[in-house]
Amino acid sequence: MAIGYVLCEYAKVKDAFPEYECTMEVLKQALIDKATSEWGPLRFGNLRPKAGQFGDTTINPNLFANAAGTRLSTWDQRITALGHQVLMQGVLVPNIPEDYKVGLIGVSFLDKTQKITEIRMDISDKRLPRLNLEEMHGYDQPTVVFENGFILDEETGFTLMGFAESVGYTRIKLVGLQLNRVPNKLQVTNPGTTMV
């Protein structure tokens, strides 16, 4: 299975990959259609859902955990070993929690010094091929934008693996959106922390 993707600066995703908006709209509609059929009779209520509606937002780090299984409160993580390893996984190790669906369109590496040279994802029962990211060392905040998005469904597995060249802190952000079945159940970050 081949995966189409482009590498670009995080700040210039829309400029460097003009098809991003169209790809994002297609992914969002597929996610809404899936949620409507599975969460019915709930309807889509955008960012401010009311009773009888589900809502959407950007991807929240609280739905994910680091390699040790600790829930993320920000996209900051610490790489503690060299080589091939888990970078991120669903918080229910490795599953996405019930009542959430995630539309994944890309992965951003928000540091000037890049520690990761290769990534691979497991989504549900699919193992996607490795992506060599060595050329991203020339970018300030490189982002991998997929030509087709992926749906990370509730109660199914997600694991992002990577090859680390060095240890230390890094910020790895998932780009896309999430749907929330129960708006007041939405996981939020700890007060005072910054979501990038």
Predicted TM-score of the model (pTM): 0.90
Using CA atoms, how far residue 84 sits from 45, 115, 116, in Å, is 41, 12, 9
Whether residue 190 is contained in a domain is answered as no
Q: On the CB side of 18, how many CA atoms lie within 13 Å of its CA?
A: 0
Question: Does a structural domain hold residue 196?
Answer: no
- Within the chain, strands assigned E span 5-9, 43-44, 53-58, 64-65, 76-79, 83-90, 100-109, 116-123, 126-127, 131-132, 142-152, 158-164, 168-180
Q: Does 191 fall in a domain?
A: no
Has residue 196 got a pLDDT over 60? no
Structural domain that includes position 170: 5-183
Q: What are the Cα distances from residue 35, in Å, to 25, 147, 150, 183? A: 15, 22, 14, 14
Q: Is pLDDT above 70 for 189? A: no
Whether the per-residue pLDDT at 157 is higher than 50: the answer is yes
User: Rounded CA gap, 180 and 56, in Å?
Assistant: 6
Q: What is the pLDDT of residues 102-130, one digit of tens each?
A: 999 999 999 888 899 999 999 999 999 99
Q: How many domains does the chain have?
A: 1
Q: Is residue 177 included in any domain, yes or no?
A: yes
191 — pLDDT class (breaks 50, 70, 90) = very low
Rounded Cα–Cα distance for residues 22 and 19 (Å): 5
User: How large is the C-alpha radius of gyration of the chain?
Assistant: 16
195 part of a folded domain: no
Percent residues over pLDDT 70 in the chain: 92
Q: Decide if 192 is inside a domain.
A: no
> Does a structural domain hold residue 95?
yes
Q: Is residue 194 part of a domain?
A: no
CA angle 56–173–47, rounded 5-degree value: 15
* Residue 147 contacts residue 6 (beta carbons within 8 Å): yes
